[in-house]
Structure 1
Amino acid sequence: MKFLLSTLVFLLFLNISFAQSPEQKLKDMGIELQEVTEPSANFVKWRKVGNLLFLAGDGSEMKGKLGKDLTVAEGYDAARQTGVDIISTLKAACGDFGKIKQFVKVRGMVNSTPDFYDQPKVINGFSDLMVEVFGEKGKHARAAVGHCSLPSNIVVEIEVVVELEE
């Protein structure tokens, strides 16, 4: 029994000691963060209120409308790439991913036709990436809604709220 207990403690230690940081996970995935640019209009990219960090909507570079121009898979990829941009903004805002306690809320907007109903499948591209990179901290409450248009005909726009460590 004593051997079993010490083995379990050792295995727990290994799991904790070798847990990958978000930076290492990004590196292993071949994802490089981009430099965050200034907003194109009169707003800020993020605002910290107490221990909450609100990120302005960030959108895909891909253009088009789901249900007309693009497949769900292409929309998923656009949401995933938007996720990379948002992770870059989080890094600029926090300086250190260790300051992120958890993702709280995500609002995913999808440029889609009135008869397109798979907005959640598109925004899964973002959500899946956050869990891949941040683990349990990356899970979030979420809305995935369709819009008849988005700025500059982008495919998706995503807003994020994260809680920071105090």
Structure 2
Amino acid sequence: MSIEARLTELGITLPQPAAPVAAYVPAVEAGGLLHLSGQIAFTDGALMTGRLGEDRDLDYGVRAARACGLNLIAQMKAALGSLDRVERIVKLGAFISSAPSFTDQPKVANGASELMVEIFGDAGKHARSAVGVPVLPLGSVVEIDAIVLVRPA
């Protein structure tokens, strides 16, 4: 089954890939790897903002991480032309805006990690880091970047 068919089966519609907000490109393909710039938590055109453990809770963070994951997949499709070129999700780096007392960053990152497995199956299983930070661009609650192994075009 193609990844596009899998998205349809799951009822998932990808968002439009976000344009860069500074001096960088959304994706660079080099040496069989696609390096994706960090995607922040835009969903339905609105940015999910705040700080976990302060003015937002764990469930909000998980939803934001899933939104970042969808944005990453949209960038993959834009860069590769077809999601069927994705051979494996290699690594996700999750940055979570959180209060010093908040220690559930790995649970937040699961919002994106579980999405990758849901869509790509075993090829979606990846290495990961989940790091708490005091603030993210534009006040986003989560930002996630990725490295993806790709098949030749």
Output the TM-score relative to the length of structure 1: 0.85
Q: What amino acid is the match of 2:63? A: D
Cα distance in 2 between the residues matched to 1:72 and 1:37: 25
Counterpart of 1:52, as a letter, is L
Contact 2:14 2:74 (C-alpha < 8 Å) held by counterparts: yes
* Alignment match, 1:49: 30
> Given that residues 93 and 145 in structure 2 are in contact (C-alpha distance below 8 angstroms), is that contact kept between their aligned partners in structure 1?
yes
Given the alignment, which residue of 151, 158, 166 partners 2:137?
151
Query: SS where residue 42 of structure 1 aligns?
Result: coil
Alpha-carbon distance in structure 2 between the residues aligned to 1:52 and 1:95: 15
Tell me the C-alpha RMSD between the 2 structures. 1.1
What's the CA shift for 1:98?
1.6
Tell me if 1:110 matches 2:96.
yes
Identity of aligned residues (%): 43
Q: Residue type matched to 2:35 in 1? A: F
CA contact (8 A) 2:93 2:129 kept: yes
Relative to structure 1, the CA distance from residue 70 to residue 37 in structure 2 (aligned partners, 3 Å threshold; closer, same or farther) is: closer
Q: Which of 125, 128, 142 is 1:139 aligned to? A: 125
Deviation at 1:123, TM superposition (A): 0.5
SS at match of 1:107: strand
Runs of 5+ consecutive residues of structure 2 not aligned to the other structure: 42-46
CA distance in 2, matches of 1:159, 1:37: 13
Q: What secondary structure is seen at the aligned counterpart in 1 of 2:103?
A: coil
Number of aligned residue pairs: give it.
147
Counterpart residue number, 2:12: 31
Among candidates 83, 94, 103, match of residue 80 of structure 2: 94
Moved over 6 A (4+): none
Aligned to 1:17: none
What's the CA shift string for 1:38-89, capped at 9, x where partnerless?
Answer: 2121110001111011000001120000001111111000100111111111
Higher helix share: 1
Equivalent residues in 2 for 1:11-22, closer than 5 Å: 20-22=1-3
Which of 38, 48, 51 matches 1:65?
51
Letter in 2 for 1:23: E
